[in-house]
Structure 1
């Protein structure tokens, strides 16, 4: 059961959103490892619906720079407020966790840190470096905030040479004032454009959620904008409301619409498109590195 779009009650999810709980597998072992190393994950902090599945398969998306965000986006469950000081040892512990989990494709994201001069870019670079040292054969993907559009911050990340640089546009531009009031659609596109200018060998990636009231035409327009800045990889997933205080769900988008978006994306020239109700930025992210980059 989920809160209804009107926020006045509950209604049943459609059949295609019924998700089978995974067998226990390594869920608790993954949680213990993360707790022992004092690491945050977006899986837990953002209440991702895929958390059980990913933890059971011994994978997680690390969230660096603390557990408190300086922005208050209406779709996100991550805590908003005054963040803590940077933990200088965190990159080492992220690398240790990735090593213990045996990850071949590692995804690192963060809260937004507008309080820091570089937005946390240096900490991203340090984490990438630590991962390269611990797991030289791994594929490294970072999902970063916009760093307020700072080219110097983006250059710091580019110099560390992640394999994939991800920055999500999240929604269509019409909804930015309500959904992402402290963000800017054109700035997010420019972040992706600048990364390609800084290092054309780094794959760029972005994602958006649907079901908040956008039209198909608006989604296609965003996809075209992303291709115009040479974005390589696209993810599209259903927005699911983390709590009654968050943004309302306007529509449960059917699977065939996601299939249509994926086909349109491939026709536009994206190297890889993942589109589906439970698709999230890092969900099954390793599929790209296996299919496109040939990582075993």
Structure 2
């Protein structure tokens, strides 16, 4: 007997996009043979983002080496060898779309010794060469705790390094079985130590059975490792085979978390039902102007 997926409340309904603009973005992606997390992970904001001419690029995919039960990215296909042309095609997409801020993420590539760090570095380098004024955000996996690989990504000097906490520690075993909460915090802490000029960021899903106080505890843990930016959004079940939504969190609760995060000292808190880790990510540029962190000359790659 199939279990019906929960019906979304009104505050989770999105407006239909202007498909002409969406089609232009899709044409660019198809022409250059690129993947986006917007499509692969069934993001509810795909219409809005594509309509605005933005996308979160998914490199080294679309097949993932992990099987997180909340995620819609394919884990049944065998990962392919890294494509040496991918950085060039990615940079060309950024140029064609005229992006002022770009988010580059990846599937988990636990099959690679460096977890794909070298490919992240090449992508950052090419975007900088083609679009030097574009700010670059990378949303990276935990690299299985390979801190040399983390240092390699940071040596390419992204402007923002994002690594998602995803959920509260109590729910890790069920939600993120191959991840470790302590490793996530350590990655962010090491990023701050290695590259203090980089803005650090993390995101959470809610509605999986966590208590509001547990979310606040995670926020406090992130501030303890000097994380700059946090995003909090509603988990939505991609299909019947994925984890069920335990609760549709009301907008008022997200507002409480936003205020709590600002009181804790986060430079930016983005919390709403439709928030995703790269949703409205370009807003970080305003933060960079308010809290500039120039890269030291002796750290230039």
Question: Shared fold (TM-score greater than 0.5)?
Answer: yes
2:239 to 243, 260, 285: 243
Deviation of 1:12 (Å): 2.9
Task: Kindly report which structure 2 residues correspond to 1:129-140, keeping only aligned pairs within 5 A, or say none.
Answer: 129-140=125-136
Contact 2:228 2:267 survives alignment (8 Å): yes
Output one character per residue of 1:51-97: Cα deviation in whole Å (capped at 9) or x when no partner: 11111111100000120000000110000032011011101110000
Aligned partners of 2:14, 2:58: CA distance in 1, in Å? 24
**Where does residue 55 of structure 1 map in the other structure?**
50
**Where does residue 295 of structure 2 map in the other structure?**
none
Provide the secondary structure at the position in 2 that maps to 1:165.
strand
Gaps of 5+ in 1: 1-5
Task: Kindly report which structure 2 residues correspond to 1:16-95, keeping only aligned pairs within 5 A, or say none.
Answer: 16-81=11-76, 82-95=78-91
Structure 1 moving runs of 4+ over 4 Å: none
1:169 to 165, 168, 178: 165
**Where does residue 146 of structure 1 map in the other structure?**
142
Aligned partners of 1:64, 1:293: CA distance in 2, in Å? 29
Output one character per residue of 1:202-253: Cα deviation in whole Å (capped at 9) or x when no partner: 0000000000000011000100000011100000000000000001100000
Aligned partners of 1:203, 1:7: CA distance in 2, in Å? 44
Contact 2:203 2:230 survives alignment (8 Å): yes
Provide the secondary structure at the position in 2 that maps to 1:80.
coil
Provide the secondary structure at the position in 1 that maps to 2:283.
helix
Normalised by the size of structure 2, how large is the TM-score? Answer: 0.94
Aligned partners of 2:104, 2:276: CA distance in 1, in Å? 14
Residues 12-21 or 27-36, more deviating? 12-21
Contact 2:5 2:237 survives alignment (8 Å): no
**Where does residue 191 of structure 1 map in the other structure?**
187
1:271 to 233, 244, 267: 267
Aligned partners of 1:9, 1:74: CA distance in 2, in Å? 17
2:7 to 9, 12, 18: 12
Aligned partners of 1:243, 1:257: CA distance in 2, in Å? 25
Aligned partners of 1:205, 1:123: CA distance in 2, in Å? 21
**Where does residue 179 of structure 1 map in the other structure?**
175
What is the root-mean-square deviation in Å for CA atoms of aligned residues? 1.4
Deviation of 1:292 (Å): 4.0
The aligned length equals 290
Deviation of 1:11 (Å): 4.5
Provide the secondary structure at the position in 2 that maps to 1:69.
coil
